[in-house]
Amino acid sequence: GAVVSQHPSRVICKSGTSVKIECRSLDFQATTMFWYRQFPKQSLMLMATSNEGSKATYEQGVEKDKFLINHASLTLSTLTVTSAHPEDSSFYICSALSRARSYEQYFGPGTRLTVT
């Protein structure tokens, strides 16, 4: 199956610092990637849709200046959490859309962010 990687898998940072999370599609091109946030024992919550070469589309209630998304190539999208606060601690998961596979979405393994 299609492979999506995320880096780092877990990160601990101090309050006020910024953290960048990378999402890569390893064996297919992804013109669209999605970023999700997941709280314990809950479903995935869509944060934004990232399209290669254009600005991301953010869901209602998600601050675009706080969660910066860059989709610079067909295989890489990055999410930067700026000026992180403890309430930003969460599990962040990306998914990549494969047009070659009938628009199936493949998920990365997730990034556990802890802000102290």
Number of chain residues interacting with another protein (CB under 8 A): 28
- CA angle 34-48-12, nearest 5°? 85
> Which residue stretch of 12-20, 34-42, 65-73, 78-86 sits at the interface with another protein (rule: CB under 8 A)?
34-42
Quote the least distance from Cβ 15 to another protein, whole Å: 23
- Strand-pair category, 90-98 with 111-115: antiparallel
φ and ψ at residue 76, rounded to 5 degrees: -140, 130
Through-space distance between the first and last CA atoms of the chain, rounded to whole angstroms = 37
> Which residue stretch of 14-22, 62-70, 72-80, 88-96 sits at the interface with another protein (rule: CB under 8 A)?
88-96
Name the amino acid, one letter, at 37: R
Written as six digits, the tokens of 18 are 């910024």
> Which residue stretch of 11-19, 62-70, 79-87, 106-114 sits at the interface with another protein (rule: CB under 8 A)?
106-114
- Judged by the rule CB under 8 A, the positions of this chain that interact with another protein are 1, 4, 6, 31-32, 34, 41-44, 46, 49, 51, 91, 93, 95, 97, 99, 102-110, 112
